[in-house]
Structures are given as structure tokens and as C-alpha cells.
A and B are shown apart, each in its own frame.
Chain A
Amino acid sequence: MSMAIPVNYIARNLVARRLTTILTAGGMALVVYVFATVLMLAAGLQRTLVSTGQDDNVVVIRRGSQTEVQSGVDRTQAGVIESLPDIATDAGGRRLISKEPVVLINLAKRSTGKSANVVIRGVTPQGLELRPQVRIVEGRMFRPGTSEVIAGKSIAAGFRGAGLGETLRFASRDWTVVGVFDAGRTGFDSEIWGDAEQLLQAFRRTGFSSVIFKLVDAERFEAIKQDLENDPRLTVEAKREQRFYADQSESLAKFITYLGTSISVIFSIGAIIGAMITMYASVASRVAEIGTLRALGFSRAAILTAFLGESLLLGLLGGIVGLIAASFMQALSISTTNFQTFAELAFSFTLTPSIVFASLGFALAMGFVGGFLPAARAARMKIVDALRAA
């Protein structure tokens, strides 16, 4: 094995043909940008919903109903659940259980005037204690027994009538938004909360949508789930709150990931061809040089490595530029209907270390595939023929 061609020599070839390098790496950068932003979107959605739930909270909904909005738990059943011995208590000795009505209402977006479904949740003081991540950042808490509501910050910013001091009209009443809450980038940021009993009355509902409680011992979850689901008086299913919300991200995240990855792979064909054209031209214009290098004693393997290295460097350059562009997307948040719950959900692009590695790997793979055949052609050249070409 003879010596390798210096990296410096490889890199300078890219600098020597600036326009071609920029165009080729630019194409790859766009592919990596699309690839990374799509993964960031799916990761943002998952992070938002996974962090919505607490590990030691349990959500109980009607069996088979999938979402809180479709579920119904009547007062008798809620009473049975309330009598469970495993429910934690707060400092004041009150049991941490919340029976909540959850409905969707149509609100118009501030930006377009088009309407979307927003979750309205009826909560109790215990319900607030169950979600320690929720803090009022503007205004104040609603007063129990009144037509006051508080809005999550995404909803307050995004929907007409949901800002502090504004009023919303639904269920034959005017509801005043007296506070805006920050739920730390969780799904609750996309909800409106009011007094549970007031909302039940207004919507003329007799039963709740879901029952949420905190476990004394999070390890006991499986046993409690068995108890609830086997109780002949109940037709319910229980899930850990974290699992419950994580499951809601599943189909939208899958849809985004599948669509985005297939698009990126198809797009990458274009970029790979770009790299191939560039590398073939690079080989063709340096035939004499390759002959000289071979005559100097550099092996075929060294030539192959040098051209492959040039192509990989091109890919890496594209990958880094694409990632930098994609990282700016973190400042943006997107609000859309989660088709699993049929409700509006805001989430932001999230760059994770695994996305960085996947994107750079993808970029290098494009460089490798695009550079392999041209590099092989360079390595196969006979010294005599190559020198004669000059």
C-alpha cells in the first residue's frame, strides 16, 4: 500500500471550480434541508405530545373511544373510579382526581379567518394540580362558577376572540378570557380551559368525557388498569397520560415522516445525478493529472479514494449548509389539525442530535453514490493512456 493523496489536494479541487461546486452542493443542500425540516416537524409534534402527559397520571375514557372528545363517562361510572384506593392526595388531603368534559368548538383563525376546531376542557382545582407544567402568564385564573375561561398561549395568539380580555360566544353564552396560560410547549397550549360544572351546564351534558387521576405509586399502573377494565360496572379503558398523548401523535407523525422521507429520497436522485455529472467532468478534465499521479507511484486505490473523497466532501458541504438553513426553522411554529383528534395543535420544528446525524449521513450517502462511478473510472485508467491524453 502506497501513500494516500493529501486531503488538501482534494479540497482544493473543489475550490478551483467554484461555480460547479456551489451549484452541485447547493442542490444537495436543498435536499438535506427538506429532509431535515420534515424530520424536525415530526420530532416537534412527538415532543409536544409526549411531554403533555405525566408518567404517574392516568387517563380513563370510554372503551374503544380513542379520544377524549369521542368518549363519555357518566357520573355513576366516574363515581366508581373516584372510589379507587390508589389515588394520590395533595398537601391539603384532597384526592388528585379530575372529572373533565372535553369538547371541540369552531373558532376563526386570526391570520386567515378560516375556522378550526379547538379543544375546550372543563377543569377543577385538582385538574390544575394534576398538570404542574401549566402556569398563568397573563391575567388571572378563572373564578369557579362563572363564565370565565383561560386560553393556552397558542390559542390566545392564533384565534379570534381568544386573547386576554376578549370574549368568545358558544353554547348560548359569552365567555370572557381572563387569563392566558403557558403549558411549556405541550398540547395544553392548544386548549381553552373553563370551570367543569359551568361547561357541563352550558353544553347540556350530564356525563364527563374523561377522568384523570394521579397514582400514589406509578408502578401500580398495570394492576389498576386491570381492576378498572375488569370491573363489570365500568365500560372504560385506562392509559398512562404520557402514553395517551404520545399515541395521539402517531398517525400525523407517521404521515409526515413517510411523506417527507419518500420525497427526500426521490429528490436525492436529482442531487446524486448532479454530483455524478460534476465528478465525471472533474475526472475528464484531469486525465493527464491522474496519469501523472499514477506515474508518481500513487495506487489505483489512492486515486479512487481521492475522487470519492472529493465527492464526499461535496456532500458534506451540502449537508452542512442544508442543516444550517434547516436549523433556522426552529424559530417557527406550525399550527394544524391533528387528524387523530380532529383538533388544532401547535408545535414547533425541533432539531435533535439524531436528526443532525441522519441528515449528514444522508448527505454523505448522496456524495458517495454520486462519486463512486466517476471515481472508479479514474482509478481504472491506464497510466500510458492517461498520460497520452495530455
Chain B
Amino acid sequence: MYIVLLVLKNALRHKLRTILTIVGIVVAITAFGLLRTIVDAWYAGANASSSARLVTRNAVSLVFSMPLTYEQKIRQVPGVASVALANWFGGVYVSERNFFPQFAISAPAYLDMYPEFILTPEERKAFLADRTGAIAGRKLADQYGWKIGDQIPLRGTIFPGTWTFTLRGIYDGADKGTDQSTFFFHWDYLNETMKKQFPRRADQTGVFVVQLKDPQQAAEVSEAIDATFKNSLAETLTETEKAFQLGFVAMTEAILLAIQAVSFVVIVIIMAVMANTMAMTARERYGEYATLKALGFGKGFVALMIFAESFAIALAGGAAAVALTFPLARAFADAMGSLFPIFFVSEDTVIMQLGAAILVGFVAACVPAWKAARVRIVDGLRAVA
């Protein structure tokens, strides 16, 4: 009991120094937590994907489409429950800065495949009944202040012209991992317009989303679908939705790795700061350590005291940082809007933050504890004089 008191008293002896060190740790561990959360957000799309869905695209690249006739052939492949169409639209809402994903989909097949997008029955009916209708995620609608019935103009970059949609529904996510920043409208509307303007580009789709009867059969069904279109004009590449999403993550992997590396740099920076604090603290107290030893306390006890003090400071900072990370992450997500559709602090992040705090406390105490343990009573006592 007295030892705990001694450690705490020691830690508070230089109040300003201890407070500054704790503030430093809070800043560093909070920054570490936020950076890990940004990395998580990158993978969020892949984590939210279902293992019961496959995505079929043109084998050359996503820039190339596939003929609509493939839909029937894919449906006939054993193991396929249903097929839906989806097309990346890439329109600009008011200004280029307002980026959010937009897809032309074959509702209702697509909506049935994604039960995690929750619409009220009335909204669903209204959307299905309106050829130029659209639905948007709750987060997206909040960001631009859209209400049901609003007219939303999108300037096409891939499909020329300005397209105006009527918002018929706002969907919620089944859980916090569901993307609520996407805009969906009818594939038929896109196709009919293309038929009139650019007949060559009609009856084509970017991807087919395939619902499996049994998720265990993902590999066989993928192979069977691709075999169906082997040596045709548009060969296909079918993969699980997760692999498809991870493909996008992999493209920007270099940036992701840099963020990860940097998130560790901040821990090293704070380690240097904390090590400096502990080194200075121990240096000032060699006389006391010698006294303790003279009174009969062992080397281990002296070292333990330094470690305990270091851990107390580091964990105080670490705990405050974890508490601070949650509101900051929320504020960051609000500021970023639809850029990071899914943004929340995971349990793993919290564990890593506390682990980092313990590591900082441990590393910072190593050298001072070793030096203090080795201090000879005579030298230590002389240091006082």
C-alpha cells in the first residue's frame, strides 16, 4: 500500500513535467487511434460484404461492360439464386468536390440481395413505381439536406448530359458497418436513355451481382460463370464481393501502408519524449535510490518503483486518449461526410491504443531502471552532496 502511495507521490513531484508528459501521451495515442480508424474505414467496404454474393465483371477491366444477354446465362449456372445488374454512374452533384458513389441498379432484384439497406415498404413501393426515382443512404441525405420528393440533378461524366432524379426513399443501414452514403437509381432508366442517344452503348452493364444458393459454393460457381463466357467477346472475371472490394483497397495500398507506418512513428516520438522524462526524473533521484538501498531495499525494488511510475503516467495518458478518441472520431466522420461512409472506432483499435501506452511506459523506464538498480550506495549518496 505504501509503495503505491510512494509511486504516486513520486509521479506528482514535478507536477508540470508529469502533466506535460501525460498531455503528450494523450495526443500521440489519440492520433494513433484515429489513424488506425482511418485505415479501418478503408477496409470497411470489404468487411461489410456478404459471402453469399459474387460480382461478375469484364475480365479486361471495369471500364469495359458486358452485354445484357449474360444475365440469362448466369442465372442458368447451377448454384445461382438470382442475378442483379449494377452500373457505376460517376455523376457530379453541383460541384466536383461533392463525391459520392452512384449506381444504376436493377431494382427490385438488387434490393432483395441487399437486405442490409432498409427502406420502409411505402418508400420501396414509391421507388419501384417511379422510373426516374432514386434512393439515397441516410448519411448522404443528411449531408446534402435532401428530403423525399427532392429533385437531384447529376451531371454525367461517363454518360453525357444532366440527369435529374426524384428522391423516393432514404435507406438506413442494418448495422453501423453498412454503407449509408450511396445513391441508387433505376438501371432501366439509364438504359432507355442510352438507347435513344448512343444505341451502341445500350443493353450493356458494368457488373452483375450474383446471389449464391450456398456461400460454400462460391469458388465453383465463380469458375462456372467465367467458363460460360470463355473465348467470347467479353470474357468475365467473377469473384466474391469481398475480393472485389479488396481489389479497390489494394489499388491504393501504397497510401494505406504509409498511413500505417506513420501511425507507428507517433508512438516512437512519444517514446522519446517519455524516455526523456523518466531519464531526467531518475537522474534527479539517485541519492534517494541509494538511501533506499542503504535501508535494505533491493535492486529489484528500486527498478520496480521506476517501472511503476512510468506505467502510471503512460496508462493515465492512454486511458484519457481512449476516452477522447470516440468523440474525435465522430467529429472527424461528420466533417468528412461521405468520403468515409463507414467510420467508427473498433475494439481492436482500443486494445492497440492501450497496448501502445503500456509499451511506451515500459520502454521509457528500461534505461533509467537499469541505471538506478546499478547505482552504488556510496556513489548515490555522494551525488546528493
Contacts and interface: CB of A to CB of B under 8 A. Distances in A.
A337 B252 contact: yes
B276 A20 contact: yes
Contacts of A281: 17, 280
B63 A103 contact: yes
Nearest to B97: A251
Given A23-B273, A277-B276, A335-B254, A266 B27 contact: yes
A65 B157 contact: yes
Interface size for chain B: under 10, 10 to 19, 20 to 34, or 35 or more residues? Answer: 35 or more
Contact of A63 (B35, B63, B160, B268): B160
A277 B21 CA distance: 8
A114 interface: yes
Chain A interface mostly helix, strand, loop or mixed?
A: mixed
Contacts of B331: none
Chain B interface mostly helix, strand, loop or mixed?
A: helix
A334 B266 contact: no
A19 B279 contact: yes
Given A204-B233, A336-B251, A267 B64 contact: no
B231 interface: yes
A203 interface: yes
Given A104-B61, A274-B24, A267 B265 contact: yes
A23 B279 contact: yes
A33 B258 CA distance: 13
A18 to B, nearest CB: 11
A259 B339 CA distance: 13
A169 to B, nearest CB: 9
B196 interface: no
A267 B266 contact: yes
Q: Which of A24, A69, A171 has the most CB of B within 10 A?
A: A171
Given A27-B269, A277-B280, A339 B250 contact: no
B102 interface: no
Contacts of A27: 269-270, 272-273, 276
A24 B276 contact: yes
A126 interface: no
Nearest to B263: A263
B158 interface: yes
Interface string A99-112: 00001111000001
B250 A277 contact: no
A64 B276 contact: no
A64 B262 contact: no
Interface string A326-352: 000000001111010010100000000
Contact of B277 (A66, A103, A277, A342): A277
A269 B252 CA distance: 29
Contacts of B20: 273, 276-277, 280
Given A105-B61, A112-B250, A23 B270 contact: no
Contacts of A112: 250, 253
Given A20-B279, A270-B27, A281-B17, A30 B253 contact: no
B64 A280 contact: no
B253 A114 contact: yes
Interface size for chain A: under 10, 10 to 19, 20 to 34, or 35 or more residues? Answer: 35 or more
A269 B273 contact: no
Interface in A275-308: 276-278, 280-281
A238 interface: no
Contacts of B157: 64-67, 70
B275 interface: yes
Given A106-B61, A337-B251, A206 B200 contact: yes
Nearest to A275: B273
B170 to A, nearest CB: 27
B336 to A, nearest CB: 11
Contacts of B64: 103, 203
Given A104-B63, A114-B250, A23 B272 contact: yes
A266 B27 CA distance: 7
A281 to B, nearest CB: 5
Given A27-B270, A27-B276, 16 more contacts: A23-B275, A24-B272, A27-B269, A64-B157, A106-B61, A117-B62, A117-B251, A206-B200, A256-B255, A266-B31, A267-B28, A270-B27, A271-B273, A273-B20, A274-B276, A280-B16
Interface of A: 19-20, 23-24, 26-27, 30-31, 33-34, 41, 62-67, 69-70, 103-106, 112, 114-117, 170-172, 203-204, 206, 235, 256, 259, 263, 266-267, 269-271, 273-274, 276-278, 280-281, 334-337, 339, 342, 344
Closest 10 pairs (CB-CB, A-B): A337-B251, A274-B273, A273-B24, A336-B254, A23-B276, A114-B250, A27-B272, A106-B61, A104-B61, A104-B63
27 contacts: A27-B273, A30-B269, A70-B157, A70-B158, A103-B60, A106-B62, A117-B61, A117-B62, A170-B59, A172-B231, A203-B60, A204-B233, A263-B35, A266-B266, A267-B28, A267-B265, A269-B24, A273-B23, A273-B27, A274-B273, A277-B21, A277-B273, A280-B16, A280-B20, A336-B251, A342-B63, A344-B251
